[in-house]
Amino acid sequence: MIIIKVLGSGCNNCVRVAANAHQAVEMLGVEAVVEKVTDYNEIHKYPILATPGLVINEKLVSAGRIPEPAEIAGWLKV
């Protein structure tokens, strides 16, 4: 099971990242959970300077931008 975390306050950009992550999961047909992390103490456990952030299996793969579903799918395949 893949664990995907969207780091941020819950703003529109964070919502878009979560939606793109869901699309990537559907495109690949993999088993994954997408979690929204809004607690700043939890967010600061990752080396992130800007939100939204995207973490896949505890590895920060994106910060401060909105990756497209195809890009997220590429990270999920690795």
Please indicate whether residue 11 is annotated as part of the active site.
Answer: yes
32 C-beta neighbours (distance < 10 Å), count: 17
Among 4, 6, 7, 14, the active-site one is 14
Please indicate whether residue 60 is annotated as part of the active site.
Answer: no
Among 11, 30, 33, 70, the active-site one is 11
Report the C-alpha gap between 19 and 22 in whole angstroms.
5
Q: How far is CA 61 from the centre of its chain?
A: 8
Catalytic positions, please? 11, 14
